[in-house]
Amino acid sequence: MNPPNTDARRRHDPDVRSFASDNYAGVHPEVLAALALANGGHQVAYGDDVYTENLQGIIRDHFGATAEVFPVFNGTGANVVALQAVTDRWGAVVCAESAHINVDEGGAPERMGGLKLLTVPTPDGKLTPELIDRQAWGWADEHRAMPQVVSITQSTELGTLYTPDEIRVICEQAHARDMRVHVDGSRIANAAASLDMPMSAFTADIGVDILSLGGTKNGALSGEAVVVLNQDAVSHMKHLRKLSMQLHSKMRFVSVQLEALLAKDLWLRNARHANEMAQRLADGVRAVDGVRVLYPVQANAVFARLPHGVSERLQKRVRFYFWDEAAGDVRWMCSFDTTEADVDAFVAALEEEMAR
């Protein structure tokens, strides 16, 4: 490779990949190319640029004529902005105990958003009307934080999926209780690819009010957005985004990344590939004696239980994380750049370590 015209230096081997996280992957080359395209000259800062304006149209193509997009920095930011948007100061969020907003955001929803989370244990990361009803009550009781929104994750933190019908029922239930529905779509592309449906089929079309739309795990450098699907549910989104420290000054560069993903089918190609790699991986490890795959593999994650010592030896060869170290549960994530060879080598390594 020729030395590029920069004082920065390459410091890593671009051929090494792992199964630790879809955030370990880099940027898809087509997204990177888009950044260069949007560069040069001046564009109005803070979102009044032509790339962000154009993105509005792309989002409306995906989510319908009333959808509106607000690019933000990261998934936590998207979630906290979106949830503030659909709650009053006294509002609470019904979510799964395993929800990212509950376990993986350092308390940002509570501390930054002033949000109370009303959590429910689930077998597979998915809420149901029955589970929601365990927390959706007591609206008139001032001693209780008022349940105002149901937040679900699609695909879930456990690699499982809601069907559109399952989400529709949740929306009907929530709306009947004057509550809103938020989807944490950090991996919404993987869900759409797996369901083989447009993203709107399980969001805008069936009553979801607001969406955290993920781009980073789908191949962007850094690009997430809040997508408002129900304009009646929110107001002053720009103020909320700003005060939540999620306003990108040179927003054209976030918007053009989302354009690169969403204008045609890059988002889908990337997600489909990651899902296929997860299926290949699940098929491979299921064939290994002593390894149990834990949840339905419906997106780009594979959870498995295997002997603790095996995991630790395997981690020295390829990076991945324990999910529940005490139980011996591990998580393997595939991403847009995972190759068949990566998967096959990993399965082979697993077989070797199991055999030792």
Q: Which of residues 210-239 bind a copy of itself (CB under 8 A)?
A: 216-217, 221-222, 235-236, 238-239
- How many of the other CB atoms lie within 10 Å of CB of 57? 12
Distance of CA 99 to the CA centre of its chain: 11
Interface with a copy of itself includes 179 (CB under 8 A)? no
Using CB under 8 A, which of the segments 60-68, 104-112, 293-301, 345-353 binds a copy of itself?
Answer: 104-112
| Shorter beta-carbon distance to a copy of itself: residue 209 or 259 | 259
**Selected binder of a copy of itself within 57, 66, 103, 231 (CB under 8 A):** 103
| Shorter beta-carbon distance to a copy of itself: residue 20 or 233 | 20
Structure tokens at 156: 């879930």
**Least Cβ distance, residue 203 to a copy of itself (angstroms):** 22
Structure tokens at 79: 């979630």
Give the total residue count for the chain: 356
Sheet containing strand 292-293, edge to edge, reads: 292-293, 301-305, 329-333, 321-324
Contact 289, 354 (CB under 8 A): yes
**Least Cβ distance, residue 128 to a copy of itself (angstroms):** 17
| Shorter beta-carbon distance to a copy of itself: residue 69 or 288 | 69
Interface with a copy of itself includes 45 (CB under 8 A)? yes
| Shorter beta-carbon distance to a copy of itself: residue 116 or 168 | 116
DSSP H helical segments within the chain, as ranges?
Answer: 29-38, 50-63, 75-85, 100-103, 108-111, 129-133, 164-176, 188-195, 237-243, 252-262, 266-286, 308-317, 340-355
Interface with a copy of itself includes 33 (CB under 8 A)? yes
Interface with a copy of itself includes 31 (CB under 8 A)? yes
> 191 to each of 5, 96, 116, 328, how far by Cα in Å?
39, 18, 27, 27
How far is the C-alpha of 211 from the C-alpha of 223, rounded, in Å? 14
Place of tokens 């979106």: 82
Site string for a copy of itself, 82-101 (x = CB under 8 A): --x---xxx-x---------
**Least Cβ distance, residue 89 to a copy of itself (angstroms):** 6
Interface with a copy of itself includes 2 (CB under 8 A)? no
| Shorter beta-carbon distance to a copy of itself: residue 104 or 344 | 104
Q: Which residues of 258-276 are buried (b: 16+ CB within 10 A; e: fewer)?
A: bbbbbbeebbbbbbbbbbb
For a copy of itself, the binding residues in 278-297 under the rule CB under 8 A are none
> 354 to each of 64, 312, 313, 349, how far by Cα in Å?
50, 11, 10, 9
Interface with a copy of itself includes 116 (CB under 8 A)? yes
**Least Cβ distance, residue 14 to a copy of itself (angstroms):** 3
Using CB under 8 A, which of the segments 27-35, 59-67, 162-170, 305-313 binds a copy of itself?
Answer: 27-35
| Shorter beta-carbon distance to a copy of itself: residue 90 or 163 | 90
**Selected binder of a copy of itself within 144, 177, 305, 308 (CB under 8 A):** 144
